[in-house]
Amino acid sequence: MTDEQGNLEWEELRLQIEQKAKEIGDIVNILERRRQKLKEINDTNKAVENKRKENLISDLQSKNWYVNMREFMYPKVEVVDDEIVTINGVKYQRVEEPKPQTLFQHLNSFGIVGAEGICNIVRGWLIDNTVIETEDAEKVTFTIHKEQLQTPK
């Protein structure tokens, strides 16, 4: 074998090695892009899952369900019936909206003597000095001018 032939074989081998190195580099780049894309997909899925949880919490709270936010990390939700739902093995029950306190109850809570008489006075004042906007079996809507709410100085 001549030196020239050896140099050609050596050069051919070097070019093959460079070609393989380039192919390996291309494969590494492809794998890196795929890894990055997979990370983006996972991040998107986590964001979507978190948004779903936030919407579920908001939906439950808007329907008067008691939800402890700290225990609501990764929910396994099971609806037992219209009144009870189980989240992560913890039972939650629908709570009733508190009924508004009557004027009499409010005055009594302050220990005001003669609360019933005061209620009658206020009821009469409302009827005489305000405008009844709407009225049905459960409620009456009044319009009170701001100046009527001012206390004397």
CA 3, chain centre distance (Å): 77
Handedness of CA 48, 52, 55, 61 (dihedral sign): negative
Residues 74 and 57 in one domain: no
Contacts of 52 (CB under 8 A, 6+ apart): none
What pLDDT sits at residue 67?
57
| Residue stretches of the chain with pLDDT short of 50 | none
35-74 burial, b at 16+ Cβ within 10 Å, e below that, comes to: eeeeeeeeeeeeeeeeeeeeeebeebeeeebebeeeebee
Contacts of 135 (CB under 8 A, 6+ apart): 141
What pLDDT sits at residue 11?
85
What pLDDT sits at residue 84?
83
What pLDDT sits at residue 1?
54
Model pTM?
A: 0.33
Domain, as residue range, for 140? 103-149
How does the average pLDDT of the chain come out, rounded? 80
What pLDDT sits at residue 70?
56
Residues 6 and 46 in one domain: yes
Residues 71 and 58 in one domain: no
CB 122 within 8 A of CB 110: no
27-63 pLDDT tens trace? 888 889 988 988 898 888 888 888 888 887 777 767 6
What gap in Å lies between CA 15 and CA 23, rounded to an integer?
12
End-to-end CA distance of the chain, in Å? 119
**DSSP conformation letters of 67-91:** --GGG-SS--EEE-SSSEEEETTEE
Question: How many structural domains is the chain composed of?
Answer: 3
What pLDDT sits at residue 69?
59
What pLDDT sits at residue 93?
82
What token pair was written down for 66?
């008691």
Residues 118 and 141 in one domain: yes
Residues 46 and 4 in one domain: yes
What pLDDT sits at residue 26?
86
Residue 110's CB is within 10 A of a number of other CB atoms, namely 7
What token pair was written down for 58?
């908001």
Residues 4 and 57 in one domain: yes
What pLDDT sits at residue 126?
84
